[in-house]
Amino acid sequence: MTVILASHSCYSCNYEMMNQGRAVGKSFRFQVEMQQTEPTPKVGINGRAVKMVPASEVVKRQAPATRKVEQVNGVKQVINGNGASIVRRKNSPSLVKMPISRVSKDLPPLEELKILPSDENFSWANENYSSLQRSIDVWSFVISLRVRVLLDNAKWAYAGGFTEDKQKKRRRTTASWLRERVLQLGPTFIKLGQLSSTRSDLFPREFVDELAKLQDKVPAFSPKKARGFIEKELGAPIHVLFKEFEDQPIAAASLGQVHRAVLHNGEKVVVKVQRPGLKKLFDIDLRNLKLIAEYFQNSETLGGPSRDWVGIYEECSTILYQEIDYINEGKNADRFCRDFRNIKWVRVPMVFWDYTATKVLTLEFVPGIKINQLDALDARGYNRSRISSHAIEAYLIQILRTGFFHADPHPGNLAIDVDESIIYYDFGMMGEIKSFTRERLLELFYAVYEKDAKKVMKSLIDLGALQPTGDLSSVRRSVQFFLDNLLDQRPDQDTTLAAIGEDLFAIAQDQPFRFPSTFTFVLRAFSTLEGIGYILDPNFSFAKIAAPYAQELLDIRQRQRTGSQLVQEIRKQADDARSYTMSMPYRVQRIEEILKQLESGDLRLRVRVLENFLTV
């Protein structure tokens, strides 16, 4: 998997406005250059008003009488003789003026937002926190966790005798301790904990469930740090960049937090700010984690080579470094938007590239009701059944058609707009299924549909999920058992994707499976969406929603088979014709020779009669 003043790359996942020729012009900072004293109303060719901002509303700074360009830290400052300044980033897209987007006036009260206290009490947020101390803290955590896990699995460590109930209770206690320690260790481990919550093939169920609670409960950092970081990244003071900026974040994640703001042209936006010092912290943590992964790799009690801990580390490392590149996240949002440009019921916030840098991302403010807030949805009269269907359909489109999917579709990243369209947030963790992998996934789908364990295993080997080593007969029996239990279910039985995933990962714990992160993200995402579907609609049926897409795949398969058979037949006929054509001169010559022999009497016809036919 893979991943500067008011240009809009995408609007509400609807590029039609580009095609309809909406008005374009100069941005509000160009209005400052022109020194407008009165707002000049403009109307686009579609009749929609375009808001202009008078220069009097934009803060100016004194500048020399002559216009010049200064460049500091990759940021160009254009100083005009009239006293106004413009801040432009390298390689910024052309500045265009777009119509103001529709924004709900129902902004959520800040007291309703669940933001944990500031991170300033955490050691990892301290500027004087040394690399040595950090390494000591990381290894202390790993050793403590290792001892706890050993005690959880040691039957002699249970007073009054070992029972499975006692073990589950102790594992839950360890899992709770793990979550608290991960939170104390900060961003790297919080993100790794979130990634681990998708890997029930690697970790006990109790750990996976507890780590899933890390999703929304992350401490914020101070507004002073946020402002300073934005000004450093974008190269201008906050009051020059924004007409309004809210110090209180509306959301905090493991890698950054989000503030509301208003541009000088009145556009309401959200500004995602990365945690200061994050790259340095990642470098230290990932160096230590690589050593830990190598230790796990050589440990028989921790799965050894069958788990490929080093490979898992490399996947996580790649994901983490991609997520702290907000330019990459902005590109992801744009691509996701393009993929859904013809789907009216999916909305993606547009990126304001002129207010975006590697560590700051500015997006259109698109408020909505969280997809799992049933009371709020019902109060608006929304059709929950339709919403649940659209949530699954959108993901099927991502997996089976575009190959580019949102890898973290939990309720915090999905909301419902006023027209019941689904709003997607947070494009830092995206997955991409290459054409080869998608073809192998389709082969796996067909093999499961045909209930063919041998083909399923071949597809898993092609996907890199199954290591073709040793005797795989036991693996084949496990796969066949899985298929029998999956496909022999009666329609009225409750077989959920979560249960299927647990069964599949249970097989993986005892067999030479290693599911790629893409595979686990897809399965976890479907499982999460299925859970949301049941919450929204008690009569929700994943199979019913997926049926048209499954039929589409089967139709494609049938056409491929028919086409393949036709191609083979044509090739055979062509080969026969070519062979016949190549031998024709010889055949003609031979016929001429036979006729000559018949005419001259040199050709004798010999007839052999079996003796038993002559016996009377």
Confidence (pLDDT) at 160: 87
Taking residues 169-191, report their average pLDDT: 90
Q: What is the pLDDT of residues 498-522, one digit of tens each?
A: 555 555 555 555 555 666 667 777 8
Q: What pLDDT is attached to residue 589?
A: 62
DSSP 311-380: HHHHHHHHHHHHHT-HHHHHHHHHHHHHHTTT-TTEE-PPBBGGG-BTTEEEEE----EETT-HHHHHHT
Q: Two tokens at 2?
A: 């893979």
Which residues is 362 bridged to in the sheet?
271
The DSSP output letter for 466 is B
Q: What is the DSSP letter of 402?
A: I
Q: Return the pLDDT at 574.
A: 62
Residue 533 pLDDT grade (very low, low, confident, very high; cuts 50, 70, 90): confident
pLDDT band at 436 (very low <50, low <70, confident <90, very high): confident
The 10s digit of each residue's pLDDT in 323-380 is: 999 999 999 999 999 999 999 999 999 999 999 999 999 999 999 999 989 999 999 9
- Residues with a catalytic annotation lie at 408
User: 83: alpha, beta or left, given left = phi > 0 and alpha = psi -120 to 50?
Assistant: left
Query: What's the CA gap between 227 and 280, in Å, rounded?
Result: 20
The pLDDT, as a whole number, for residue 283 is 94
Cβ contacts of 225-233, under 8 Å, gap ≥ 24? 225/276, 226/257, 226/259, 226/273, 229/273, 229/274, 229/276, 229/359, 229/360, 230/271, 230/273, 230/360, 233/357, 233/358, 233/359, 233/360
pTM of the model as a whole: 0.65
Q: Which of 115, 110, 124, 117 is nearest to 217 (CA)?
A: 115
Which positions ≥6 away from 542 have C-beta within 8 Å?
Answer: 392, 496, 497, 526, 530, 533
The residue ranges of every structural domain in the chain are 16-89, 115-215, 370-416+433-540
* SS3 category, 514: coil
Residue 20 confidence class, pLDDT cut points 50, 70, 90: very low
In sequence order, the 6+-apart residues with CB closer than 8 A to the CB of 573 are: none
Q: Checking DSSP bridges between strand 422-424 and strand 404-406, what pairing results, if any?
A: unpaired
What is the spatial distance between Cα 345 and Cα 13, in angstroms, rounded to a whole number? 9
pLDDT of residue 113: 44
How are beta strands 268-274 and 346-347 bridged, if at all?
A: unpaired
